[in-house]
Every structure is written in C-alpha cells, then in structure tokens.
Chain A
Amino acid sequence: GQNIDQPTEMTATEGAIVQINCTYQTSGFNGLFWYQQHAGEAPTFLSYNVLDGLEEKGRFSSFLSRSKGYSYLLLKELQMKDSASYLCAVPWNYGQNFVFGPGTRLSVLP
C-alpha cells in the first residue's frame, strides 16, 4: 500500500527559513511532488523530485532521499504570502494516479 506522513502544522517568522518534511512508503517509486494550497483554493505545483538530491527553484528547494523514503521542502526568506498548506504526493499505479499526504499548514508570523 501507499502511505505518506507530514507534520500537521508549523509556524515560522517572516524572513526565516523553514523545512517541511514528508516521509512515504510506496510500492514502486516514480517521483514525489510538492504542491502549495492556500485556504479555499486549488493546489498549485511547486516541485518534482525523482532522483536523490536537492532541486532549487528560487526561494523554494526540494530534497529527496529514495533510500530513506524521505523528502523535504525548504522555504527561504519567508513571506506572509507563504502561509498555506503544503502537500506532498507520490504517483503510483504506473503514474495513473496519486496518493497525497495530509498536508502541512504553515503559518508565517510577522
């Protein structure tokens, strides 16, 4: 079966750095996605990792360790608009569908 775990909530200060972790168990790995979802809105794609290591995209970076079943999303220079839920998801069934984690609700405080 597939299982994904994330912390439920995190709080950080504007301008700081925060790391949001995601652990997964899946039969057959085909990459891991991170999405951002503001309250009441659609999730939007942030990053995709399929190989081990760090992928950097501006203020956001995502890391993957396949041997540990572990990923994290790193947000630098936090802004108030970064307050949102962050979802990690893994494709399965040959990429036909996805399993989503419960999401981590991040609150950025002034």
Chain B
Amino acid sequence: DGGITQSPKYLFRKEGQNVTLSCEQNLNHDAMYWYRQDPGQGLRLIYYSQIVNDFQKGDIAEGYSVSREKKESFPLTVTSAQKNPTAFYLCASKREGGLAGNQPQHFGDGTRLSIL
C-alpha cells in the first residue's frame, strides 16, 4: 500500500543537539511539505519542495533545514538554533500536475519532538 512514513514516532533532543526527522513516501508525489503543530493550534509550514533538489522556506523556517536528494525522501533537521522545538511535526505530500491546487495533501503519522 502506498503512503507516507515518518520516523521516529517520538524523539528527544538534548540542548545544543541537531536531530533529523525522516519522511519517506511511495506515492510517487512530486511535492512534499513539513509542518509544525503546537497544542491547540493549526499547522504551520516549515519548508516545502516541489521537485527534487529544490525546496522553499515556509512561514517558520528559522532553525530548521531540509534536503530533497530523492523524490521519495524529504528529511527535516531541527538544529540547535531552534530554541523551542517541542512540537508535533507532520510531513505531507501531494500530487502535482493539472490543476495542482485541487489535489489534497496526504500526511504521515507525525513525529513528536521533546526537549530533554
């Protein structure tokens, strides 16, 4: 079955440490996204990528970095510069082409990141 896999499900970060969240999809989708969700709030866009080897900053990119070396993979690194990383992180993908705006996003199950 096609889908999006995020790992790990839970992650703990020590002060000054960089951590990387994995996101893999086998839906053959071109576009991939990273969102952050804080308790009681909606999703805020961190980074997105429309195509391999290209990505764009979202609304809250500071303290985060991404890469898109393969179509299937879009890992997110939470750097030590992100001072408040505790949140639920969601990865999504979407089919492009045609009327791209009318395609829904498909989400992974999320990674919950906490500070030790």
Contacts and interface: CB of A to CB of B under 8 A. Distances in A.
Interface residues of B, number: 28
Interface in B44-92: 44-45, 48, 50, 56, 58, 88, 90
Interface string A87-110: 101010011111011110100000
A42 B110 contact: yes
B42 A101 contact: yes
A34 B20 CA distance: 30
A13 interface: no
B42 A45 contact: no
Interface of B: 31, 33, 35, 40-45, 48, 50, 56, 58, 88, 90, 99-110, 112
- The number of chain A residues touching the other chain, given as a range, is 20 to 34
Interface string A7-50: 01000000000000000000000110101000011111100101
